[in-house]
Structure 1
Amino acid sequence: MPRFHIEASPGLATGMELTLSEGVSRHVQVLRLQPGDDVHLFDGGGQEWRAAVVEMGRKRVSVRLEAPVDNDRELPVAVTLAVGMPANDRMDFVVEKATELGVRAIQPLMCERSVLRLDGDRALKKVAHWQAVAVAAAEQCGRSVVPVIHPVMTLGAWLKAEADGAALGSRPVRHRAVLSLREAVPLSDWLGEQPQVVLRAAPSEEARGGRQRNGESTTQFVFLNGPEGGLAHAEEEAALRAGWRSVSLGRRVLRADTAPLAALSVIAARYEV
């Protein structure tokens, strides 16, 4: 069944007719779908519908929402990856594969050893590009929730914002770990030290009707990973002073674009239900 991402709207309901965006309409036309053919539409926030093509225009396609789809493919815990942006197209790879593995948010960071440095319009364009990569990956892997790609920040500014948010109680308690190149507790052991994780319950009947966001989680993990060459000693020490824990992914040195995906895979293997 072809799947397409549409803009989120609180007023969407079964029986409503929609005009798809020009980009999505183009995909429908390329597939040579005809009136009466079915597609799946998801809004990136956890809602998905089966829809039928109603009309094929020259540039726009109209569809009718037929029924909500029960499509809960989220991890039972919410994971944020805060990554020192790797250079070239490796950040695209991280965003794509992390989306497939179930990440909920990605925070791009500029660190002391970062090769890729972004600010102003260039940073905004890159974040928009990475958000589009996440949308495409969600379409492919079947998720109805699209991870959020946050604006680029320096590591120092982000750690301060994290500490300020925790002090104000504006965010839920999160388990925070630095993916470290130094001697550190193995990730699996660190997970065993955490308070008992409350896994997200299966979606209710109301959620299946598209009236409640899928993917809600009562437990959150945040993993901080450096760019090529890892975090500088002072950067890791700053995180540790803020209450983070250094964890190890094993005896081998992993690349900047491999380590966060390895951590996410461990989380999925441990908590996926």
Structure 2
Amino acid sequence: MPRFFVDHPLVLESAFNLPETVARHVQVLRMQPGESITLFNGQGGEYSARISLMGKREVGVLVTEHQPIERESPVQTILLQAVSANERMDFTVQKATEVGVTEIWPFYSQYSQQRLSGERAERRLAHWQSIAQAACEQSGRTRVPQIRAVGTLESVLRDLPADLLKLTLAPGAVTRLRDLSTPVTHAAVLVGPEGGLTGAEEMTAQQAGFVGIHLGPRILRTETAGQAVLAVLQSQWGDW
């Protein structure tokens, strides 16, 4: 059954018109009145809805059933990701969402190749959020990761909760993820941009309590590194 995210209250027996982008997708699928789709709004669970109207631009639905399904990992993770080039950042948001990340906090590093401000920054943030929503539609997640507005490294480190495991990739580190014996329920993963973090930025992260970890002899790209760490966390302490 086709599955869509809607930023709309979902209540049993309520009727409403789907948002324009979702309606267009339903029309592309050539669905007809009487057919059912699955909706979720990130507030938990998912809903069955029956198409009641198929207009030229409007698609009306009636919410018929609620399933209290949760597919979120027991490991809550925050990805602190340095902003990378457009396609790489899009890939990062999409795959981190599929793997199960809870929140994504983008930040600008000294080596970040792209810096946006004002309206352009707001459009980019909305674009990332739409990618996360689409990834939730595809992967079956019922809650969409929160993506914060881009900050500085100092600001994201300052805002982190104190009671979580803090990890960053460091080629010279000796600690491996499998060396961490304490069960992990909350973790933050810090990933630098294409050129990596500067020495001063690595020192700032260490002072904030981040532990450098080693992922083997191969250097991972910025869009791969976070996914690798998140996947190991899911495998060791999550629902994989």
TM class, shorter-chain normalised?
Answer: over 0.9
Please state whether the residue corresponding to 1:66 is helix, strand or coil.
Answer: strand
Please state whether the residue corresponding to 2:216 is helix, strand or coil.
Answer: coil
1:34 matched residue in structure 2:
32
Matches within 5 A, 1:75-94: 75-94=73-92
2:44 matched residue in structure 1:
46
1:23 matched residue in structure 2:
21
Whether the aligned pair in 2 keeps the contact of 1:43 and 1:144 (CA below 8 Å) is: yes
2:121 matched residue in structure 1:
123
Q: Distance in 2 between matches of 1:188 and 1:236?
A: 22
1:59 matched residue in structure 2:
57
Q: Distance in 2 between matches of 1:253 and 1:220?
A: 26
Percent identity of equivalent pairs: 42
Alignment pair present for 1:230 and 2:196: yes
Whether the aligned pair in 1 keeps the contact of 2:54 and 2:60 (CA below 8 Å) is: yes
Q: Distance in 1 between matches of 2:215 and 2:209?
A: 19
2:164 matched residue in structure 1:
174
**C-alpha deviations, 1:49-84, integer Å up to 9, x for none?**
011111112211111111112432211111111011
2:2 matched residue in structure 1:
2
TM-score, normalised with respect to structure 2 = 0.94
1:110 matched residue in structure 2:
108
1:141 matched residue in structure 2:
139
Q: Distance in 2 between matches of 1:244 and 1:226?
A: 13
Please state whether the residue corresponding to 1:112 is helix, strand or coil.
Answer: coil
- Aligned-residue RMSD, C-alpha: 1.5
1:8 positional shift: 4.2
Q: Distance in 2 between matches of 1:253 and 1:263?
A: 13
Runs (5+) with no aligned partner, structure 1 = 167-172, 198-218
1:182 positional shift: 2.1
Runs (5+) with no aligned partner, structure 2 = none
Runs of 4+ in 1 over 4 A off after TM superposition: none
Alignment-mate amino acid for residue 2 of structure 1: P
